[in-house]
Structure 1
């Protein structure tokens, strides 16, 4: 299979981009440097905050700022583009119109994987920024797969936002048990079949194996798709 270069628009946030890069390396079946993926990473940290522009109705600020990134990746020869930020996928259609290079749809690929495992009428929890939830991208996606999205109550959502913005983005140490407790509550108390980890900042937090089994990390889905579409195998395929 032809080996293709992967373009990455990162910086949303920088730590999440670093974790994405590490995960691609860790999950690519490779025994030497030359067997890994060629990647062009744009760590565009000055992009406007996605949650802020969505909630304020100023999405054009984000779109205007990101447009040049697609041109740079086209010139660099990227065959596919990965954007490790769930909230940005609210603008997926507009972003795809900016480039001829296919953008991997992190949201749709995640829901496709969930539907394949849990089927119709599944109840799916979500942990994400308020921007992602209010954008409706996961809700609409769930409906298209005949699944129901279960959004956290106000108290849980406030806690999730605190973890994302005041802990991970602030580079503070996070207690994984807090995130694990939220996921367990959504599954065992509120009846969700599984919980989507739908914020790449939350993907930076290592959770235990038991909690991983009742959740699906959208970043990991993006990692796997990035590897496969670049003509490589993931370690799970071996």
Structure 2
């Protein structure tokens, strides 16, 4: 398959972008440098906080800040764009209107993957920022594939947000908090799986018991990024 360059709009946050880059490398079948895909990564760390913009209904702040990134990637000649930030996909349609380059839809690809594995009427838990939860993007995605989204209660949501912003702030994180939430959503709330729907959560080293119930949206984006760029994903 012909190799195509991938554009990445990162910085949301920088550590998550670094993990995304590493995962693309680690999950590409390659015996030489030339087997890997070409990437143009923009680490746009000063983009406005997505949750704050959504909750305060100031989406123009984010869209105005990101529009030049698409122009840079068009100039670079990339074939597809990956944005390793779940919350930013609240703006997906308006971002896609800004460029003729295909933006890989992280949320739709994730919901499609879950449906292929668990089927219709699956109950799906989600761990995400309050911005992502309130935006309804995963609820809409699950409804598209005839699945039910289950959102954590207020106490759990506060714990999830604290964990996410601890990762962003490079503070110590107690992964047992997230592992306990995952276990509860599966064993007590009847969820078939739980989406790790924030790229900061992708930075955590969860224990095997919790991880086996998780579908990491970043992992889905990594696989599609490799495939759409003409690479081969490790099985």
The TM-score normalised by the length of structure 2 is 0.98
Match of 1:210 in 2: 209
Match of 1:151 in 2: 151
- Per-residue deviation, 1:151: 0.3
- Per-residue deviation, 1:188: 0.6
| Aligned counterparts of 1:234 and 1:173: Cα–Cα separation in 2 | 32
- Per-residue deviation, 1:215: 1.1
Is 1:192 aligned with 2:191?
yes
Match of 2:98 in 1: 98
| Aligned counterparts of 2:57 and 2:16: Cα–Cα separation in 1 | 25
Match of 1:23 in 2: 23
- Provide the aligned length of Structure 1 versus Structure 2: 235
- Per-residue deviation, 1:209: 2.6
Secondary structure of the corresponding residue to residue 196 of structure 1: strand
Q: Note the 1:103-114 alignment, pairs <5 A.
A: 103-114=103-114
Secondary structure of the corresponding residue to residue 7 of structure 2: strand
Does the aligned pair in 1 maintain the 2:159–2:177 contact within 8 Å?
A: no
Structure 2: gaps of 5 or more residues: none
Match of 1:78 in 2: 78
Q: Deviations over 1:142-198 (max 9, x none)?
A: 111111100000000000000011x10011232322221111111011111110000
Secondary structure of the corresponding residue to residue 40 of structure 1: strand
Does the aligned pair in 1 maintain the 2:28–2:226 contact within 8 Å?
A: yes
Q: Deviations over 1:202-222 (max 9, x none)?
A: 010011233222110000000
Structure 1: gaps of 5 or more residues: none
